[in-house]
Every structure is written in C-alpha cells, then in structure tokens.
Amino acid sequence: MKLSEDQLKEFDKNGYLFIPGQFSPEEAAVLADEARTVYASDRKEVWREASGVARTAFAAHTYNEGFRRLGAHPRLIEPVEQLLDGPVYMHQFKVNAKAAFDGDVWQWHQDYGTWKRDDGMPEPRAMNIAVFLDDVTAANGPLLFIPGSHKLGVVEAGHDLKTTSYPLWTLDREKVKELAEQGGCVAPTGPAGSMLVFSSLLVHASPANISPFDRTIVYLSLCHVDNHIRTFNREEWIAHRDFTPITALDDNCLRELVDHKMAATG
C-alpha cells in the first residue's frame, strides 16, 4: 500500500493521517478476539489498571498468531517505509485497552520523547501506525492530537511515575495549553478497522473511558533500521532489540485467519 501525494502533504502538515475502514470488520473482529485472549493471559507483558483490567499488552506479536501477522501486514509496513524512506524494524508493539468504565488516561506526551530519553533512539525517524479493533467514538476514550506539534522537536517533559500504572514522560498543563492554542485539538474517531499513522513527535493523549463501551487499539511503533536504539534500560519486550528489517506478508494474511475461524464455527 502506498500513500498518495495528497496524503503525504497532509501528514507533513498535521503529523498524522486517519484512514477509516482500512481493515474489514471481519479482520478487526478476529483481532479483537485475539486481544481478549491476550488480556486474559497471565503474562508479564500484560500491564493492568489499578482495577485489575488490562491496560496494555506488550509484544503480542511474539506470542499470538493474529498479532504476528498484523505486525508484518503490508497495509501497515509499506506506508511507514514510504514515510521513513527505508526499511523498518519493530521498536514496540502494544495492544492498548480502554476497558468500559475502567480504562484510565494516557497523559499528554510525545512517544519519541520517551524513546530518546529511555532507549537512546538517535533521531525521530520512527512513528506509530495503529488499527482500531473497536469502534472509536467521542465517548469511549479516543486519542487526542495537537495537529502540527510534530514540527516543534522534542518538548520539555517530566517523568510521571504516579498518575497511572505506566511510567511516561509527560508535558505539563501550561505547555499543552500553549500548543493547543496554536494547533487546536482533534480526536480521530471511526469504525473498527480504521487506521491511524502519526509522527513520534506528535503531542497526544487519551482520556479515561467511563462509557459502557470498550476501546481497543493496536499500535506498531516502527523505526528505521539505521536509527535503532542504543541503550537497553527497559525490558526487551518493551523496547525490542531485534533490528532485523520487517518483511511484509501477503495482503490476505488476516483474511486467512477470518476464513479459518468461520470454518471452525460452522
């Protein structure tokens, strides 16, 4: 899959692209089932909220077949290779949950701020590409973006170890207010199967989910192979150390799982 010239210009301007319905409802549904299986497992890679519900599952592509296939899907790999101008490796893979009623916030931050400070990633030649596994609405904790904030470089941040179960380098309220007065604030929403790609420098967050509807999103954090991390302060399943370029699978790799599930259920 290749991005058009208009899409490339939009990404350069805003720091993100939103493509509704990039994956079929059936593809999203089979991955949502896989996410529930992962969240129910007793693994160190699955982090939980104070309530006990899953917050995020790291490195699911290494122990789950559906997410292994998604982690090498051409609809995800090829656009990022185009934007980063070369081969990429998997820096991080997360299946982020926002459980109904209990999904907690993700504070305002830049992903590259963490990757630089904690992992020694030399440059912001990395980005996120994400797939909605549930319908994402204004009610169930959508991502919030400040368009254009990716052009500001690394913004000063503090290490928040208290707000949630996951430590994060976060921006203070005054800085977020200043940036939003310049660029506004948007919340891309859409059906399960929609896709987001956004710069590792884009300032973003998400609110708590107190709605009765789950919100699950899978994130591939992909980095140019020449820009691999230099320090290994975090667990390998959080910041990967295999810098092998990803080889994309066939476009129908998830469809095969859908067909298998339909055959199994009759």
Q: How far is CA 92 from CA 115, 157, 166, 197, in A?
A: 10, 21, 15, 15
Q: What is the mean pLDDT of residues 142-161?
A: 89
pLDDT, residue 162, reads: 61
36-84 per-position pLDDT tens digit: 999 999 999 999 988 889 999 999 999 999 999 999 999 999 999 999 9
Q: Which two tokens stand for residue 120?
A: 């020694």
Tokens 């928040």 belong to residue: 160
CATH of the domain at 41: 2.60.120.620
- The separation between CA 76 and the C-alpha centre of its own chain, rounded to angstroms, equals 11
Number of Cβ atoms within 10 Å of the Cβ of 24: 14
Q: Among candidates 60, 187, 196, 75, which has minimal Cα distance to 128? A: 196
- CA distances for 124 relative to 71, 73, 77, 227, 228, angstroms: 20, 23, 17, 8, 10
> What residue spans of the chain are helical by DSSP H?
5-14, 25-39, 65-70, 74-84, 111-119, 173-183, 253-265
Instruction: Report, as an integer, the average pLDDT of 187-213.
Output: 97
pLDDT over threshold 70, residue 35 = yes
3 versus 103: the higher-pLDDT residue is 3
Percentage above 90 pLDDT, the chain: 83
pTM (two decimals) = 0.93
Residue 166's pLDDT is 65
Give the chain's mean pLDDT.
Answer: 93
> The domain containing residue 79 runs over which residues?
5-265
Instruction: Over range 19-45, report the average pLDDT.
Output: 95
Compute how many other C-beta atoms are within 10 angstroms of the C-beta atom of residue 144: 18
- Beta-bridged to residue 17, according to DSSP, are 197
Q: Give yes or no for residue 92 having a pLDDT over 90.
A: yes
Report yes or no: 120 and 172 within 8 Å, Cβ to Cβ.
no
CA–CA distance, 40 with 43 (Å, rounded to integer): 9
Domains contained in the chain, number: 1
pLDDT score recorded for residue 32: 96
CB 190 within 8 A of CB 136: yes
Residue type at 164 in one-letter notation: T
**d(Cα 242, Cα 168) in Å, to the nearest integer?**
23
Task: For residue 63, count CB atoms less than 10 angstroms from its CB and return exposed for 0-12, middle for 13-18, buried for 19 or more.
Answer: middle
In angstroms, the CA 243 to CA 88 distance is: 8
